[in-house]
């Protein structure tokens, strides 16, 4: 009898926590296995609504249109000139802002329209890279303007009014034409 009471005394009020680590490890391993590192990032675009009627043709001054064609061989034709994708961003920026007032570039940023057309045989990778460069050109211009006006980079966290004031001055107008189907899919 004396022995039993002694054992109880030794236990006192402590819970044995040595298995806690094991339990936590088990849970940890479960989550490690099921984890996929979130790569939910990408280029967000807004598609134009579908309409059955044919869109009416709008005449635009050719100086305001920046046409980008991508063929099935993943080559670029920008304003009827072949171009390397690495030059696209700078070229597009120059076209939109037209800093030197050239007569063959956009009248002003609000009039500039980017027209993108690809082939059904174009690689998706190339298409996305072209899209990325065009979006990047606008992003850089927005950044520059935002730095000038407000002293900080353009980002989605900025107040809506600030973003709107910048977007009004340099609106992103990117029109995608129906793709051609010359190339092999």
Instruction: Select 104 or 157, whichever has its Cβ closest to other proteins.
Output: 157
Q: Are 97 and 141 in contact (CB under 8 A)?
A: yes
Instruction: Select 1 or 15, whichever has its Cβ closest to other proteins.
Output: 15
Instruction: Select 104 or 178, whichever has its Cβ closest to other proteins.
Output: 178
CB of 30 to other proteins, least distance (A): 9
Instruction: Select 49 or 99, whichever has its Cβ closest to other proteins.
Output: 49
Q: How far apart are the first and last CA of the chain?
A: 88
CA quadruple 117, 122, 124, 129: dihedral positive or negative? negative
Structure tokens at 142: 């927005």
- DSSP letter at 54 equals P
Query: Sheet holding 76-78: strands in order across?
Result: 81-83, 76-78, 65-70, 113-118, 174-176
CB of 89 to other proteins, least distance (A): 9
Cα 107 from chain centre = 27
Residue 99 to residues 72, 93, 94, 105: CA-CA distances in angstroms? 34, 10, 7, 9
CB of 150 to other proteins, least distance (A): 21
Instruction: Select 49 or 159, whichever has its Cβ closest to other proteins.
Output: 49
CB of 53 to other proteins, least distance (A): 14
CB of 128 to other proteins, least distance (A): 5
Residues that bind other proteins (CB under 8 A): 17-18, 20-21, 24-25, 27-28, 31-32, 34-50, 72, 118-125, 127-129, 131-132, 135-136, 139, 156, 179, 181, 183-185
Q: Supply the angle between the helices 85-97 and 124-150 in degrees, to the nearest 10.
A: 40
Instruction: Select 48 or 101, whichever has its Cβ closest to other proteins.
Output: 48
CB of 37 to other proteins, least distance (A): 7
């Amino acid at each position: 009898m004396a022995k039993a009471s002694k054992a109880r005394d030794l236990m006192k009020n402590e819970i044995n926590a040595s298995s806690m680590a094991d339990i936590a490890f088990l849970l940890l391993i479960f989550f490690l296995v099921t984890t996929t590192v979130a790569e939910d990032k990408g280029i967000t675009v807004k598609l134009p609504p579908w309409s059955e009627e044919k869109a009416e043709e709008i005449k635009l001054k050719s100086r305001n249109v920046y046409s980008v064609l991508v063929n099935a061989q993943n080559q670029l034709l920008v304003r009827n000139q072949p171009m390397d994708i690495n030059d696209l961003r700078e070229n597009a920026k120059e076209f939109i802002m037209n800093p030197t007032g050239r007569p063959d570039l956009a009248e002003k940023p609000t009039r500039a329209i980017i027209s993108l057309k690809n082939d059904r045989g174009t690689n998706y990778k190339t298409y996305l890279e072209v899209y990325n460069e065009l979006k990047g050109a606008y992003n850089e211009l927005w950044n520059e303007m935002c730095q000038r006006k407000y002293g900080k980079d353009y980002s989605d966290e900025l107040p809506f009014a600030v973003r709107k004031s910048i977007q009004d001055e340099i609106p992103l107008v990117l029109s995608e034409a129906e793709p051609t189907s010359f190339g092999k899919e």
